[in-house]
């Protein structure tokens, strides 16, 4: 059940005391400005989608928010404080193309648990059960199907019990069943109070899942609104064009 009453989708240039804030992010590559003064505020929990056309900067934004890339200018904050190494330890990311270790299914999850100095076979098995891979513990991870690999990548991300979970088009090219499993888990995570930041091209998926939608265009946030408002009456011309299947140039 979505609760949008606590949504803060303001665009102020001051980090909010709760949730994840990005203030004035800029990122250049080969002297081209790819992210231009991007500001975004997300609450402590819920599912928040970044949508927009190809090349708009959605995946880059996700990487900047997660700290995988250093911004040229601007800063990311967690609960009003600049993102620290200890905050990053409580974040996880699921990539569009899962990168699995050359090990068994269970060893992939154990690796993450061990990196956090824990060993909990019951927790690992419960995660594998959640993503529909129960009983597949000893199989080589790289011999799983694409959908199964992505579900294992999600289980691995959940193994660190993340406060913030970034997902970069996790269901792109997956069959409906695998996509459904991932969507169900995201809904469960919302219920557990995890902040899920999801990049997707699938407008239907954003409609099903999102508490808020940030529309990314030309390296900045063109619009950030509660999901029902965004889909009912988008305020930016780019978002309106995108939703009506028009090309955004």
Partner 1 sequence: MHSISEALSLALALVFSADPDLFEIVGLSLYVSLSATLLACVLGLPLGALLATTRFRGRGAALVVVNALMGLPPVVVGLFVYLYLSRSGPLGFLGLLYTPTAMIIAQTLLITPIVAALSRQVLESLDGEYAEQFQSLALSRWQRVQALVWDGRYALLTVALAGFGRAVAEVGAVIIVGGNIDHLTRVMTTAIALETSKGELALALALGIVLMTLALAVNAMVYSVRTTATKAAYA
Q: Each residue of 95-133: b (16+ CB within 10 Å) or e?
A: beebebeeebbbbbbbebbeeeeeeeeeebbebbebbbb
Within a 10 A sphere around the Cβ of 1, how many other Cβ atoms? Answer: 5
* Residues in binding contact with partner 1, number by CB under 8 A: 21
The H or E element spanning position 150 is: helix 146-158
For residue 165 the two structure tokens come to 């979970």
102 binding partner 1? (CB under 8 A): yes
Q: Which one among 6, 80, 81, 111 touches partner 1, defined by CB under 8 A? A: 111
Strands (E), the chain: 20-29, 32-42, 46-51, 73-78, 81-82, 91-94, 164-168, 195-199, 212-217, 220-226
Q: Which one among 73, 89, 134, 233 touches partner 1, defined by CB under 8 A? A: 89
123 binding partner 1? (CB under 8 A): no
Q: Give the residue carrying structure tokens 């406060």.
A: 163
Q: Which one among 7, 15, 34, 112 touches partner 1, defined by CB under 8 A? A: 112
Residues 6+ apart with CB under 8 A from 59: 96, 168, 169, 199
- Specify whether the CB–CB gap between 159 and 109 falls below 8 A: yes
Q: Report the length, in residues, of the chain.
A: 249
Give the residue with the Cβ less far from partner 1, 149 or 212: 149
Q: How far is the CB of 99 from partner 1 (least distance, A)?
A: 4
141 binding partner 1? (CB under 8 A): yes
Give the residue with the Cβ less far from partner 1, 142 or 240: 142
Q: Give the residue carrying structure tokens 């990049």.
A: 199
85 binding partner 1? (CB under 8 A): yes
103 binding partner 1? (CB under 8 A): yes
Residues 6+ apart with CB under 8 A from 210: 47, 48, 49, 198, 227, 230
| Beta partners for residue 51, in sequence order | 215
Q: Which one among 18, 95, 136, 243 touches partner 1, defined by CB under 8 A? A: 95
Give the residue with the Cβ less far from partner 1, 55 or 111: 111
Stretch that binds partner 1, among 16-24, 134-142, 217-225, 241-249 (CB under 8 A): 134-142
99 binding partner 1? (CB under 8 A): yes
Q: Which one among 6, 73, 101, 134 touches partner 1, defined by CB under 8 A? A: 101
Give the residue with the Cβ less far from partner 1, 146 or 226: 146
Give the residue with the Cβ less far from partner 1, 10 or 115: 115
Q: How far is the CB of 101 from partner 1 (least distance, A)?
A: 6
Q: Which residues bind partner 1 (CB under 8 A)?
A: 66, 68, 85, 88-89, 91-93, 95, 99, 101-103, 111-112, 115, 140-143, 160
């Amino acid at each position: 059940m979505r609760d949008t009453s606590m949504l803060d989708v303001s665009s102020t240039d001051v980090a909010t005391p709760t949730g994840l804030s990005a203030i004035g992010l800029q990122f250049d590559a080969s002297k081209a400005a790819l992210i231009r003064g991007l500001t975004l505020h997300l609450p402590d929990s819920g599912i928040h989608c970044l949508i927009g056309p190809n090349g708009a900067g959605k995946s880059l934004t996700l990487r900047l928010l997660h700290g995988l890339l250093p911004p040229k200018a601007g800063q990311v904050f967690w609960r009003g404080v600049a993102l620290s190494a200890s905050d990053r330890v409580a974040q996880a990311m699921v990539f569009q193309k899962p990168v699995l270790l050359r090990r068994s299914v269970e060893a992939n999850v154990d690796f993450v648990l061990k990196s956090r100095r824990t060993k909990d076979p019951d927790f690992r098995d419960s995660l594998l059960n959640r993503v529909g891979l129960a009983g597949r513990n000893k199989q080589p991870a790289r011999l799983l199907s694409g959908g199964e690999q992505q579900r294992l990548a999600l289980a691995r991300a959940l193994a660190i019990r993340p406060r913030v979970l970034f997902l970069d088009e996790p269901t792109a090219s997956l069959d409906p069943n695998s996509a459904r499993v991932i969507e169900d888990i995201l809904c469960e995570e919302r219920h557990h109070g995890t902040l899920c930041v999801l990049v997707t091209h699938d407008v239907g998926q954003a409609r099903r899942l999102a508490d808020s939608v940030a529309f990314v265009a030309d390296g900045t946030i063109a619009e950030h609104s509660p999901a029902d408002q965004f889909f009912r009456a988008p305020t930016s011309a780019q978002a309106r064009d995108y939703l009506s299947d028009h090309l955004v140039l």
